[in-house]
Each structure stands twice: as C-alpha cells, then as structure tokens.
Amino acid sequence: MLGLTASTKILKYCRSKDYSITGFNIIYIEGIDIDGRLNNDSPNQFNDVRAVFDGEKCIDCWQATCEPGAWYTDYPMNAAGAFRIAFGYYQRAWEIGIHGNSDPHESLIQVGEVRGWRDFNKDMVRTGDRLVSGYFGINQHWGYDMPPSDIGQASAGCLVGRSRHGHGEFMRLCRDSGRRYFDTIVVPGNEIFK
C-alpha cells in the first residue's frame, strides 16, 4: 500500500502539473511498486500501480500496467503500432461498462479522448514515436491474473490492473463513488520518486 509519504509526493506532483484533485481520483504511476519504491520499469511486466486517492491519501492500490505487452507490441491491433498512453490528466474520459468478448467483465470504458504514442518501431518506448489523440478503446480492465513478470495478451495499450480480485475492488470503489464519468491521471514514477 502506498503510505502517507508516497501519497503526499504523488498528489504534490499532480498539483504541480495543475491536474484536478478531488475527493475521488484514479491515478496510475508508471515504474513503481505498490509500496512506493521505484523499479526499473522493464517492458512486458506489471510494474506500475493503479491507485485510488481521496484528496489527501491513497485509499487502495494494485499492481498494474500502463503499457502494452510484448505480444501486442509485436502484433499490434493497429498497423501504426501498439498504443502507449501519454502522461497527463484525462477529464471525464471513462465510464462504467463491459470490456472484452471472450471474458467480458465490468470495467471503465473509454468515452473521452486520450493521447498516446504509436510504437511503430516496436521498441516498447515512447521516444521517437508518433503522438496521436482520439478514441481507441483504451479501457481500464483486469489483467486475467497473469504473472507479474509477463503481461502476455492482457494489454494492447489499455490501463490494466493485474488481478481479477484487485480489479473487483477497484470497480467497487468506482461504483461507490456515485460518479458517472471518471477522470484519470497517468504519471511517471521516476519524476516523483527521484
């Protein structure tokens, strides 16, 4: 769990970027563990954090990925390359719905525009890639209980919580928030925890 010190640093960073912080905030932090320590942010791993914050601290957090896995990087759904979300604040860009065909489950479904990079050269980094914005089906869903060390086919560029159980907890918090639309913030851990 992200402690008070880590929570404070994350919220301070978000406020320094003028991201709106309210009583219910979904924040993805790339390249950290759920205890708030930086990791090496290796590709194709669940080494990011999905967290829900109130205005002051982290309420709960889970292993996640903000990036596509190796499979969808090599075999992208779009000929321009796999999608990797850009850091930033996305206002009212998701609502509760159903994700998936073979294993449908309640998730946050993209309903607003997002920005991201197309990994045409398949190197699994943003640098040098083409920035795009639009509606790409970038949902917030579960990662099918894949192991932490292998995203497999669990992400083609969506924001993915690794476990089914953790995702269920996340969705309960979303439902209990009383909101129809959900803002989401995606931030780089290495800029927060230097």
Q: What's the average model confidence in pLDDT over 65-76?
A: 98
Taking residues 72-81, what's their average pLDDT? 97
Please give the class, per CATH, of domain 4-192.
Answer: mainly beta
Query: For the chain, where are the alpha helices, taking DSSP H only?
Result: 4-16, 70-74, 164-176, 189-192
- Report pLDDT digits (tens) over 6-29: 999 999 999 999 999 999 999 999
Checking if the pLDDT of 183 tops 90, the result is: yes
Mean pLDDT to the nearest integer, 164-187:
98
Mean pLDDT of all residues belonging to the chain: 97
pLDDT at 72: 98
- Per-residue model confidence as pLDDT tens digits over 93-149: 999 999 999 899 999 999 999 999 999 999 999 989 999 999 999 999 999 999 999
Whether residue 142 contacts residue 160, with contact meaning beta carbons closer than 8 Å, is answered with yes
User: Could you tell me what percent of the chain has a pLDDT over 70?
Assistant: 100
- Average pLDDT (143-171) is 98
pLDDT at 173: 98
Cα–Cα dist 82/182, whole Å:
24
Domain boundaries, the chain: 4-192
Does the pLDDT of residue 194 top 90, yes or no?
no
CA dist., res. 121 & res. 129, Å (int): 8
The pTM of this model reads 0.97
Give the tokens for residue 46: 């669940």
